[in-house]
Amino acid sequence: MPLPKQDYVSDIWKDGIFENKVVFCTGGAGSICSAQVRALVHLGANACIVGRNVEKTENMAKDIATARQGAKVLGIGAIDVRNVESLQNAVEQCVQELGGIDYVIAGAAGNFLAPISQLSTNAFKSVMDIDVLGSYNTLKATLPHLITSASSHKNPHIHPSRANTGGRIIFISATIHYTTMPLQTHVSVAKAGVDALSHSTAIEFGPRGITSNVIAPGPIAGTEGMERLARKEGSDQVKTRVPLGRYGTVKEIADATVFLFGDTGNFVSGQTLVVDGAAWRTQSANPGAGFPYPDFLLKDEVVTGVKGEKKAKL
């Protein structure tokens, strides 16, 4: 269903700043990544989103395309980011149909609540494979096209009146590993790896004109992530730990994306842009709402009352 502009991008950005640009996004059917792509499409880009669920991905692509008349948005399902050949096929289709890739959002991720005592090796590996290996595969599959795009946009001052950028990648991470958090060991380890991957990309490919940055969202309203990490009856506890006193919005993540991909991000690379209302500074020892620390762990309770709960064993 078409969304009003104010739900996914601010009015401060000039229409058309991403005209003739192409964004490739993994996890693009998710609530945060779809808002990021929708904002870029509204501002002139065409897009390719990929995901594992065929119907969900294709339907989201059609929905995102309503952000701008004439927009081209591909939705490619049955793509597993853990399989680099799967990603390469999607990248080839994107380039063939849309003409190239200028921007990449590595957004595919896995998450659930579980203490180490109930976290199996396979469950830990699954999150590592989706988040870390998946991000690496996304980088590897798109790098040749990012290099080509970056080489075509060496001088940011050629067209000072509009964004003329390319060769940029954003990795979607989190803030959990800054202080650590109970029930989130697997995600903490994985996101630390994603951050390191982005920083290394910035160093190794900066000389080729590529910028690599991380966006680390905090608690964002209406997202599947919030449903997986908080019991409904305890969700208000999360707000009380956010210094700004509210959840973030997907639009605020999308605006951060436009900033990094636009002229505004020309000299920003190797950085982590935290969009969380300073929430991470109060999060230590506070897992998802409704799981009091340390009683929950000492009682060996099982996580219940959240979406997609896992029942893993040692």
**Residue 164: pLDDT over 90:** no
81 CB contacts (<8 Å, ≥6 apart)?
Answer: 26, 27, 50, 87, 108, 130, 133, 134, 135, 137, 138
Q: In whole angstroms, what is the distance from residue 275 CA to residue 220 CA?
A: 9
Q: Are 208 and 214 in contact (CB under 8 A)?
A: no
Between 71-75, 138-142, 223-227, 251-255, the lowest mean confidence (pLDDT) is in 223-227
**CA-CA distance, 28 to 212, in Å (whole number)?**
19
The chain-wide mean pLDDT, for the chain, equals 89
Q: Among the listed ranges 67-71, 196-200, 222-226, which one has the minimum average pLDDT value?
A: 222-226
Average pLDDT over residues 187-191: 97
- pLDDT at position 40 over 50: yes
Distances (CA, A) of 212 to 103, 168, 199, 257: 10, 6, 7, 12
Confidence of residue 303 (pLDDT cuts 50, 70, 90): confident
Mean pLDDT of 288-299: 71
Please say if 212 is a catalytic residue.
no
Tell me, yes or no, if 126 is annotated catalytic.
Answer: no
Comparing 8-17, 84-93, 105-114, 304-313, which segment has the lowest mean pLDDT?
304-313
Catalytic residue among 21, 191, 251, 310: 191
pTM reported for the whole predicted model: 0.90
Please give the pLDDT value at position 159. 52
- 272 pLDDT above the threshold of 70: yes
| CA–CA gap between residue 289 and residue 181 (Å, rounded) | 12
Among residues 126, 149, 173, 188, the one annotated as catalytic is 173
Helices 185-205 and 134-151: crossing angle in degrees, nearest 10, is 20
Structural domains of the chain, ranges and CATH numbers in brackets: 14-298 (3.40.50.720)
Handedness of CA 80, 85, 89, 92 (dihedral sign): positive
- Which runs of consecutive H residues, i.e. helices, occur in the chain? 31-42, 54-64, 84-98, 121-128, 134-151, 176-179, 185-205, 224-229, 235-240, 250-261, 295-298
CA end-to-end distance (rounded Å), the chain: 43
Q: Look at residues 105, 107, 37, 103 and name the one whose alpha carbon lies nearest to residue 72.
A: 37
Q: Is the pLDDT of residue 163 over 60?
A: no
